Amino acid sequence: MTMHARLQALPGGTVDVAEDAIATLRGALRGSLTLPGEPGYDAARAIWNAMIDRRPAMIVQALGAADVIRTVDFARERGAVLAVRGGGHGIAGNAVCEGGLLLDLSRMRSVQVDPAARRARVEGGALLSDVDKETQAFGLVLPLGINSTTGIAGLTLGGGFGWTSRSLGLTIDNLEAVDIVTADGVFRRADATQHPDLFWAVRGGGGNFGVVTSFAFRLHPLPTQVTAGLLLHPLAEAPALMREYRRLVAEAREQLSAWLVLRRAPPAPFVPAEWQGKEVLIIALCHAGPVAEGEAAAAPFRALGRPIVDLVGPHAFVDWQAAFDPLLTPGARNYWKSHDFDALGDATCDVLLEAVRRLPGPECEVFVGHLGGAINRVAADATAYSRRDVAFVLNVHTRWRDPAQDEACIDWARGLFHALAPHAMGTVYVNFMPADEADRIGGAYGPNYARLAEVKRRYDPLNLFRLNQNINTAGPAGART
């Protein structure tokens, strides 16, 4: 059986890779190299969003920085298309390429915690669940996202926010250094003193600058039990509830995050049978502090209206971090549209509620992430992530199983996106951008784009790392309005 391969080339066309070159690379790796038809190939190319079905010509599953260096060199020397996979959770599907070389970090999941120094070293293939389980064993936390199967690399490189970010900042605000392999195949440590321009760029600039093999994070004390949970209300009560919600979040202390979810109630054991499948407004609460303080902070929200279900109470933080996982399992088709808001005015709420009455499927939803606090006390030019004036991030999340529903679900998401645009800030969180939003990249990177382009020219002049929300050194596309 021949091992000859044909790789998609960066300028277009293909490049042939001889059998001996494949054998040499395979023999040099601690990890594995898999070709189409070999055992494990289909599992290695599958990612979270089932809309993405691509077939790389070669897959390298790395076990360390040496494997990453060899793979980057191999792709650069042949001018081949290179995709980099961490957790494989990105909505745009850039973690896998068609016909190119896929560098998979998913076997690099080590998390090492130094509890005395309150520091952690995390490999680039780790998931959020890996980080939470290790840090919480010592009563420590790193601000992360809300789905535990997300990869640490993609989340961090785009910014990273979740339940503890209002009091502890973005994930990148707690990043102290990265080990990164740049396009020239050189392994670099980037931090405040070594390659500070590169360190600035990876804090929000995505995967444009290299492959991060490990991250060094600062950690914070957090009890292993926190006050958290869901409040489910009938959608009919949403207009009044959302007005009260706006008042309460404006008064809330930074330890409390209160997110909104609008969807059909799932067929979960905690939802009464008569409400399953009906439209609801969900208030999701988490207090990043002692349980008793959290109970007091959550009380005004629990007093609103007549909830169908009140699940707010003491929860293990690692369990709360995984609470939404059952609604976000792999294998479904997903399409997102997102906006940033500095406030949730009546007109915005009216548009949302009208759209939620027309949900195209039982797994489709809209969520509103509650930001501000410590996130917004960082200067806009301190990191590549510049959106330090955002109060709420809204994500239109369409999710379905049948390809025949593609048009209906995507059209619904786009329709809601355009209806909300007049009330939004014109900016967007880079990790929430689908593949068809190249015209919004300027709105994602904002006033930091020119500096990002300069760093890109320095470290990746040939744009080897282009499968991302790509920084065009000639200038950005405009923000969508």
Fill in the DSSP letter of residue 327. G
Distance (Å) of CA 144 to CA 172, 252, 417: 10, 20, 26
Check if the beta carbon of residue 125 is closer than 8 Å to that of residue 106: yes
Contact 413, 405 (CB under 8 A): no
pLDDT attached to residue 481: 24
The percentage of the chain sitting over the pLDDT mark of 70, rounded to a whole number, equals 98
Position 477 scores a pLDDT of 57
Q: Which two tokens stand for residue 237?
A: 């009560």
Residue 185's pLDDT band (cuts 50, 70, 90): very high
Say if residues 411 and 445 touch (Cβ distance below 8 Å).
no
Cα dihedral value 332, 333, 339, 344, nearest 10: -50
Beta bridge partners of 119: 114, 218
Residue 3 DSSP SS3: coil
Say if residues 249 and 355 touch (Cβ distance below 8 Å).
Answer: no
Cα(78)–Cα(89) distance, integer angstroms: 28
Instruction: Say which residues have a Cβ less than 8 Å from residue 389's Cβ, sequence separation at least 6.
Output: 342, 376, 380, 425
- Check residue 426 and give its pLDDT: 96
How far apart are alpha carbons 261 and 416 in whole angstroms? 15
Q: Give the sign of the dihedral formed by CA 193, CA 197, CA 203, CA 208.
A: negative
Instruction: Give the C-alpha separation, 5 to 58, whole Å.
Output: 8
List for the chain the helix, strand, coil content (%; round to 5): 35, 25, 40
Q: Which of 261, 256, 240, 239 is nearest to 309 (CA)?
A: 261
Q: Which residues pair with 16 in a beta bridge?
A: 6
Q: Domain boundaries in the chain?
A: 5-104, 111-221, 225-432
Cα–Cα dist 47/439, whole Å: 25
Which pLDDT score, from 0 to 100, does residue 122 have?
98
Say what the alpha-carbon torsion angle 22, 23, 27, 31 is, to the nearest 10 degrees: 40
For residue 419, give the 3-state DSSP assignment: helix
Judged against a pLDDT cut of 90, whether residue 8 lies above it is answered with yes
Residue 183 pLDDT exceeds 90 = yes
Q: Return the closest-CA partner of residue 181 out of 110, 313, 51, 76.
A: 76
Do 175 and 121 contact (CB within 8 A), yes or no? no
Residue 4's pLDDT is 77
pLDDT, tens only, 208-223: 999 999 999 999 999 9
Which H or E element spans position 304? none
pLDDT at 163 over 50: yes
Are 19 and 4 in contact by the 8 Å Cβ rule? The answer is yes
Strand partners, 167: none
Distance CA 424, CA 412 (A): 18
* Cβ-contact 30, 67 below 8 angstroms: yes
Q: Are 52 and 96 in contact (CB under 8 A)?
A: yes
- The CATH architecture to which 5-104 belongs is 2-Layer Sandwich (3.30)
pLDDT of 479 above 70: no
Please write the tens of the pLDDT for every residue from 54-69.
999 999 999 999 999 9
Strands 58-61 and 211-218 turn out to be unpaired
The CATH code belonging to domain 111-221 is 3.30.465.10
CATH 3.40.462.20, applies to 225-432? yes
Which residues is 113 bridged to in the sheet? 120
Mean pLDDT taken over the chain: 96
Give the side-chain half-sphere CA count within 13 A for 306. 1
pLDDT at 475: 67
pLDDT for position 2: 52
Q: Which residues contact 236 (CB under 8 A, 6 or more apart)?
A: none
- What are the angstrom distances between the C-alpha of 259 and each of 222, 295, 442? 20, 17, 27
